Amino acid sequence: GPGDRARRIDMSAPAAKRRRAGGQISSIRKEESKWIVSVIPDEGCSANDVREALSSGELSVQDMETTRACTRLQFLLMSEEEDPGEIQVEIQDGQREETQGEDDYFRSYSDVSVHELMLRDHPRLIAYRDGIEKNAQLFQGKIVLDVGCGTGIMSMFAARAGARKVYAVEASNIYEKAEALVRENGFSDKIQVIHDVIENVELSEKVDIIISEWMGFYLLHESMLGSVIDARERFLKEDGKMVPSSGKIYICPVAMEQFRKQNVDFWQSYYGLNFSSIGEEIMTARMATPFVEQISSSELLSKPQEFANIDFNRIERSQLVSLTGEFSFGIERDSELAGFAFWFDCDFTLDSPSPIILDTAPSSEPTHWKQTTVFLGVFAQVQKGEQVDVKATMLQDEMNPRHYKISIQT
């Protein structure tokens, strides 16, 4: 098997906190024509040093969302045709990482473009709409709490299904849009938008149903489930319902042949020249962090297995700190094993006569969650019929609990 060839890799999910010269980018945001880059610098590193390190790529990045913004900014810095505009560097104290991370998290959800991405996610919206409206009998005349309501669309689904009162809680400044949309759609008499983190909210009554769209990449990224659990413990009636009610995380070995074509084969004949050495360096850098992208079912080397099955009515915060599983996969074709992909599904069925499942598998309609691939760091030869044993662990980051470190051992 590949056990003697594949190495153990321990990553933060999204990104491993590997320090390079310059420091670590904790967030990048754009305000009008200005880029704001928040950095925890290496010792003795000035703002000017950070600017130079940003241009040369000598900064590590704290999470996957920031990685994409960083790539865009670096492209602009290298471009001769497009002006990136002013770049302002905010120097952070590394001891404030967790608090700053919370601020950045809620600030990121104030961006309308983030909500546009989610509002255009058809499978996501259909699952919530059907989960609510096909269970309308559960909502009629009931009190509902929407944790992290965003633009308020789930709250409006609940009100449309007959809920008597909906408390729509939103910590980011998008709450203003939610209030406007609630008013414009005629639900002001039923929906109360509350601008605060759920942990600070006090309600005068218990609720019958909690709805929340809290899921992140591989289900647990962003760790908002902890806040939903807090709301459940404080506000949900004993016979209350959670929407969605449960979720499963899946794991599967993958070949990532398309990834290799784009990052290895592409450089072997580059305008008639062999650029393999730089291609290897680029690929190594990309494989150093989990890869969030829609992959084809053809990349799967075995049948997916269940990594975790979480009942949102019963799960406790303490159970989310660490999740571990050991698996044995039967390889179904000769190939090269690149790593392991993770995805999830959530159950919205409740009392509906037919299943209502939000599925983010490669074989399902694409969603903004895509799939998360954790690379082994090598492409290990595997043969049809071979058994590949793996131990996978998701461990909540102590410094920033919204992130998980994913450990893969084969």
Please enumerate in sequence order all residues whose Cβ is within 8 A of that of 10, keeping only pairs 6 or more positions apart, or say none. 16, 405, 406, 407
Percentage of the residues of the chain whose pLDDT score is greater than 70: 74
Cα 202 from Cα 137, distance rounded (Å): 27
Q: What confidence category does residue 130 fall into, taking pLDDT thresholds of 50, 70 and 90?
A: very high
Catalytic hit among 213, 299, 306, 386: 213
Cα 122 from Cα 356, distance rounded (Å): 14
Predicted pLDDT at 20: 39
Q: What confidence category does residue 114 fall into, taking pLDDT thresholds of 50, 70 and 90?
A: confident
Of residues 398 and 227, more confidence is placed in 227
Annotated active-site residue 205? The verdict is no
Between the alpha carbon of residue 110 and those of residues 68, 196, 221, 345, the distances in Å are 18, 13, 19, 26
Q: Are strands 371-382 and 335-347 parallel, antiparallel or unpaired?
A: antiparallel
Comparing 12-21, 60-69, 153-162, the range with the smallest average pLDDT is 12-21
Q: Looking at the predicted structure, is the pLDDT value of residue 142 above 70?
A: yes
Between the alpha carbon of residue 2 and those of residues 37, 287, 334, the distances in Å are 41, 18, 12
- Can you give the pTM of this predicted structure? 0.76
Maximum CA pair distance of the chain?
72
Cα 367 from Cα 117, distance rounded (Å): 10
Over residues 60-73, mean pLDDT: 55
Please count the other Cβ atoms lying within 10 Å of the Cβ belonging to residue 80: 5
How confident is the prediction for the chain on average, in pLDDT?
A: 83
Predicted pLDDT at 119: 87
Q: What confidence category does residue 286 fall into, taking pLDDT thresholds of 50, 70 and 90?
A: confident
Annotated active-site residue 238? The verdict is no
Cα 297 from Cα 309, distance rounded (Å): 22
Q: Looking at the predicted structure, is the pLDDT value of residue 2 above 80?
A: no
What's phi and psi for 150, nearest 5 deg? 60, -125
CB 379 within 8 A of CB 283: no
Percentage of the residues of the chain whose pLDDT score is greater than 90: 60
Residue type, 332: E
What's phi and psi for 114, nearest 5 deg? -65, -45
What's phi and psi for 205, nearest 5 deg? -150, 160
Over residues 157-180, mean pLDDT: 96
CB 128 within 8 A of CB 213: yes
Q: Looking at the predicted structure, is the pLDDT value of residue 28 above 90?
A: no
Query: Which pair of structure tokens corresponds to residue 272?
Result: 């008639």
Residue linked to tokens 């590394």: 94
Q: Looking at the predicted structure, is the pLDDT value of residue 25 above 80?
A: no
> Which parts of 3-121 fold into alpha helices (H)?
47-56, 64-78, 97-108, 112-119
Of residues 192 and 57, more confidence is placed in 192
Cα 207 from Cα 236, distance rounded (Å): 5
Over residues 322-331, mean pLDDT: 97
Between the alpha carbon of residue 275 and those of residues 71, 156, 278, 281, 286, the distances in Å are 21, 54, 6, 10, 17
Predicted pLDDT at 181: 97
Over residues 168-176, mean pLDDT: 93
**What sign does the dihedral 63-67-69-73 (CA atoms) show?**
positive
Q: Looking at the predicted structure, is the pLDDT value of residue 156 above 60?
A: yes
Predicted pLDDT at 202: 96
Over residues 161-169, mean pLDDT: 98
Catalytic hit among 65, 179, 222, 299: 222
Q: Are strands 86-91 and 60-61 parallel, antiparallel or unpaired?
A: unpaired
- With H, G, I as helix, E, B as strand and everything else as coil, classify residue 392: strand
Predicted pLDDT at 93: 53
Q: What confidence category does residue 170 fall into, taking pLDDT thresholds of 50, 70 and 90?
A: very high
Q: Looking at the predicted structure, is the pLDDT value of residue 98 above 60?
A: no
Strand-pair partners of 201: none
Cα 17 from Cα 366, distance rounded (Å): 29
- CA-angle at 320, arms to 317 and 326, nearest 5°: 155
What's phi and psi for 69, nearest 5 deg? -65, -40
Between the alpha carbon of residue 319 and those of residues 149, 229, 402, the distances in Å are 25, 11, 15
Cα 167 from Cα 165, distance rounded (Å): 7
Query: Which pair of structure tokens corresponds to residue 382?
Result: 């595997």
pLDDT digit string, tens, across residues 194-245? 999 999 999 999 999 999 999 999 999 877 899 999 999 999 999 999 999 9
